[in-house]
Amino acid sequence: MNSTVTIRELKRDKCNFVLRGVNLGFANSFRRTMMADIPTVAIDLVEFESNTTVLPDEFIAHRLGMIPLVSTNCDESMKYTRECDCVEGCSLCMIELRIDFRCDRPGTTMNITSNHLEIRPMPDNWGPGNTGEELAKRTPEFGIPVSKSKDFSGFPILIASLRKGQELKVRCYAKKGIAKDHAKWSPCTAVGFEYDPYNKLRHTSYWFETDKAAEWPLSPNAAEEDAPLDDEPFDYDAEPDRFYYNVETDGSLTAKEVVLKALADMRSRAATIVFNIDNPPTSDAMDISEAPMAQMPLPTRAANGSYASPSTGWGTSPNGSGSGTGGQGTGWASPNVTAAGGWAV
């Protein structure tokens, strides 16, 4: 059976669809990939020059890190810092944002929000071999807070409130990452996932007090499937074939981008596995697992109980002097030889 996708709703930050023709393992991997394997840009380093607000530095830094930034085409338009050749950060792997505000009006409160973050140019101190082609793939809004993008219609995120005489001056550095490293890099706020709404497969054990139907109401997805009969026998070989997704993003990427990039990532990984199976790596020059072991000659035991190599000896005995091919005064003393020294038992 060929896999099919039925899109029931598509908005900039929301996609509701039905996936058919795949098994449960693939469907769940698809969900996890959308949540944790799509790269985005988020603030990862914050330098405080002045903070006289009532909030500590760590609190503000955490808030700044969770602000979603526009990350369109992030996988091609920005490098990971661990892969960049620069020394202290450059325009290919970092984006600098700043906040510099002071409240001087008495009796008023100044709210510092995500809209106050301003992008500052990073130095182009690229490493050797870099051409800066990533910069050409960025959109004009790349790296700015989502609340400042032209398609945003909500409210900005509050960072701190200032009273008269209070100041907040920080430098922020945004980096590319994935949610497996930290949740701030996840493009999704939620990924709804459901299959078998009637629980025909009995993968869910219902716990209820009085009425199961009232305490476990059916989801809207139940309208997509036929209700089971009361006397219908249980099918032990049945497997789910319809999976219902409801993907919501934080605005850093559109819902369409998240779905398509997740499928592309899974396809790339599967292709890598197939290629490595069909083309096993050749043995490495440093691999000694299959190399013949060198035959080391066994040591011989002298009359006084010491041991020596049959060819060059084991070196000078701790309680003797000189070296040779065996005999007294050479080799390491046996623990049970006391007349010639050695270790007493």
Question: Could you report the per-residue pLDDT of 194-223, keeping only the tens digit for each?
Answer: 999 999 998 988 888 998 889 999 999 999
What's the pTM value of the predicted model, to 2 decimals?
A: 0.76
Tell me what pLDDT residue 1 has.
64
Question: Could you report the per-residue pLDDT of 48-58, keeping only the tens digit for each?
Answer: 999 999 999 99
Q: Which amino acid is at 334?
A: S
**Pairing mode of beta strands 110-113, 242-249:** unpaired
The dotted CATH code for 40-185 is 2.170.120.12
Tell me what pLDDT residue 124 has.
81
- pLDDT band for position 93 (50/70/90)? very high
| Strand partners for 4 | 20
Q: In the chain, where are the structural domains located?
A: 1-38+188-215+237-274, 40-185
Question: Could you report the per-residue pLDDT of 122-144, keeping only the tens digit for each?
Answer: 888 776 777 788 899 999 999 99
**Pairing mode of beta strands 242-249, 188-194:** antiparallel
**Residue 265 pLDDT exceeds 50:** yes
- pLDDT band for position 292 (50/70/90)? low
d(CA 92, CA 131): 10
- pLDDT band for position 319 (50/70/90)? very low
**Residue 67 pLDDT exceeds 60:** yes
- Which has more confidence, 335 or 146? 146
d(CA 69, CA 260): 19
Tell me what pLDDT residue 42 has.
97
- pLDDT band for position 87 (50/70/90)? confident
- pLDDT band for position 336 (50/70/90)? very low
Angle, CA 89 vertex, CA 140 and CA 182 arms, to 5°: 80
Region 110-115 average pLDDT: 96
Tell me what pLDDT residue 332 has.
45
**Residue 89 pLDDT exceeds 50:** yes
**Residue 256 pLDDT exceeds 90:** yes
DSSP string, 246-301: EEEE-SSS-HHHHHHHHHHHHHHHHHHHHHHHHSPPPPPTT--SSSPPP-PPPPEE
Tell me what pLDDT residue 60 has.
97
- pLDDT band for position 301 (50/70/90)? low
Share of the chain above pLDDT 70, in %: 81
Mean per-residue pLDDT of the chain: 85
Region 253-259 average pLDDT: 96
The dotted CATH code for 1-38+188-215+237-274 is 3.30.1360.10
Question: Could you report the per-residue pLDDT of 139-175, keeping only the tens digit for each?
Answer: 999 999 999 999 898 899 999 999 999 999 999 999 9
Can you tell me whether residue 116 is helix, strand or coil? helix
| Strand partners for 14 | 248
Region 176-193 average pLDDT: 96
DSSP designation for 49: E
